[in-house]
């Protein structure tokens, strides 16, 4: 029975349904992100990256599933647009770009223009050029992320750490794509593409899914998580003064209640450079700035849970969180308990104290 299926038919079964299913998944992801962030300023490059990944998946299905060879002329150009979009999306969370928009577009259009030129004059160099583009932009993204989650100075503190992780996954996906292209190039030259079809189908589709999910996660910039810290350096007297100034402002103006608070905004309100704030907190407190701010939020949440009759959801919004999952996660990090369990324990403790007094 199995012998009735030739290798060619097995490859067709792999290529026909899977790329289009992946494209549909990415389109659903795109709509979900749009609806989720409809009240927030969207990260345009990340949204465009999801759509481009869906388009690439469709083109892959047309080329390798239906034999539309003309796709091979435009697919490399579209692929060259992926790394610049990923980098542009990261840049929107890292810093305010002072270059005018036309200059930014022109700069990041260079890879696609280069591939288009090579398509016309030197097709043999396209694979090598794409590998260099993907690896180059991956390294550029990792350089932006050197300070860790605190590099995302324009991302809300509530989601800086998960956004950081998603961005690292994005850079890894770019490197994986470059590795696949390198292997395919070698396979074509040495084994006459015997394994290239299977590799392109599975590997590139996996990369597209990773890029789409990572872009959606980074765009959302929500659920916080722990990050691995490097060994802190000894704090200085300047660090103590910086932290004292930030503490005073936090306590006096309750800045942590602002759900959109980020490192850049905190720096403007305190009049202290963002890098100085980040370095001081990292050295003196062995944590990043998002954890520092969330500690304030959880501290007030504990006071409200113990001293008021407000619901957990009301408390969550009042102290600056936007989602229950994030609130519960940070609450556990600080107290090792859920908000509901913490309130119940405090209530039982209050009853016990009253009984002891009687």
In whole angstroms, what is the distance from residue 339 CA to residue 303 CA?
11
pTM, to two decimals: 0.70
Return d(Cα 218, Cα 20) in angstroms, integer. Answer: 24
Secondary structure letter of residue 200 according to DSSP: I
Q: What does residue 152 show for φ and ψ, rounded to 5 degrees?
A: -85, 65
Region of poorest pLDDT, from 27-41, 82-96, 141-155: 27-41
Task: Using alpha carbons, list the distances in angstroms from residue 115 to 45, 79, 134.
Answer: 20, 9, 12
Which tokens in the block code for residue 288? 């990043």
Q: Quick one: pLDDT at residue 154?
A: 74
**What are the residues whose beta carbons fall under 8 Å from the beta carbon of 291, sequence distance 6 or more?**
161, 224, 333
State the pLDDT at residue 16.
47
Task: Convert 276-308 to b/e letters by CB count within 10 Å (16 or more is b).
Answer: ebbbbbbbbbebbbbbbbbbbbbebbbebbeee
Does residue 259 surpass a pLDDT of 90? no
* pLDDT, tens digit (0-9, with 9 covering 90-100), for 203-240: 666 777 777 777 776 665 433 333 333 334 455 788 88
Place of tokens 């270059």: 99
Which CA distances in Å does 124 have to 70, 115, 117, 130?
A: 17, 11, 12, 11
Dist CA 248 CA 262 (whole Å): 17
At 7 the pLDDT is: 41
- 18, 82, 151, 196, 297 from 200: Cα distances, Å: 12, 17, 34, 6, 47
CB-based contact 255:249 (threshold 8 Å) = yes
pLDDT digits (tens, 9 = 90+) for 290-340: 889 999 999 999 999 998 899 999 999 999 998 888 888 889 988 888 999
Helical axes 205-220 vs 17-36, angle rounded to 10°:
0
Asked if 266 contacts 281 with a C-beta cutoff of 8 angstroms, the reply is no
Q: Which helix (H) or strand (E) holds 339?
A: helix 339-357
Chain centroid to CA 102: 25
Confidence of residue 180 (pLDDT cuts 50, 70, 90): confident
Residue 107: predicted pLDDT: 82
Q: Distance of CA 34 to CAs 147, 149, 260, 283, 354, Å?
A: 29, 24, 18, 38, 52
């Amino acid at each position: 029975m199995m012998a009735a299926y030739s290798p060619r038919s097995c490859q067709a079964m792999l290529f026909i349904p899977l790329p289009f299913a992946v494209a549909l998944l990415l389109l659903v992801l795109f709509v979900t992100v749009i609806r989720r962030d409809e009240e927030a300023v969207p990260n345009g490059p990340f949204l465009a990256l999801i759509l481009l990944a869906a388009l690439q998946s469709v083109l892959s299905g047309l080329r390798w599933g239906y034999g539309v060879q003309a796709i091979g002329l435009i697919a490399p150009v579209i692929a060259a647009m992926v790394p610049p979009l990923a980098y542009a999306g990261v840049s929107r969370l890292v810093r305010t770009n002072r270059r005018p928009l036309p200059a930014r577009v022109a700069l990041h259009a260079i890879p696609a223009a280069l591939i288009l030129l090579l398509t016309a004059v030197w097709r043999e160099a396209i694979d090598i050029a794409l590998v260099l583009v993907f690896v180059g932009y991956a390294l550029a993204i990792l350089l932006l992320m050197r300070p860790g989650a605190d590099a995302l100075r324009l991302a809300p503190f509530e989601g800086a750490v998960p956004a950081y992780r998603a961005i690292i996954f994005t850079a890894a996906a770019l490197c994986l794509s470059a590795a696949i292209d390198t292997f395919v190039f070698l396979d074509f030259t040495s084994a006459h593409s015997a394994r290239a079809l299977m590799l392109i189908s599975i590997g590139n589709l996996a990369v597209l899914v990773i890029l789409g999910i990572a872009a959606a996660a980074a765009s959302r910039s929500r659920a916080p998580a722990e990050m691995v810290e490097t060994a802190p350096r000894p704090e200085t007297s300047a660090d103590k003064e910086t932290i004292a100034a930030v503490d005073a402002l936090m306590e006096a103006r309750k800045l942590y209640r602002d759900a959109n608070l980020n490192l850049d905004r905190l720096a403007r309100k305190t009049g202290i450079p963002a890098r100085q704030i980040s370095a001081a907190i990292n050295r003196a407190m062995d944590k990043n700035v998002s954890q520092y701010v969330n500690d304030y939020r959880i501290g007030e949440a504990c006071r409200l849970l113990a001293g008021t009759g407000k619901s957990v959801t009301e408390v969550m919004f009042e102290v600056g969180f936007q989602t229950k999952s994030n609130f519960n996660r940070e609450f556990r990090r600080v107290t090792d308990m859920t908000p509901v369990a913490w309130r119940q324990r405090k209530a039982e403790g209050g009853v016990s104290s009253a009984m002891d007094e009687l």
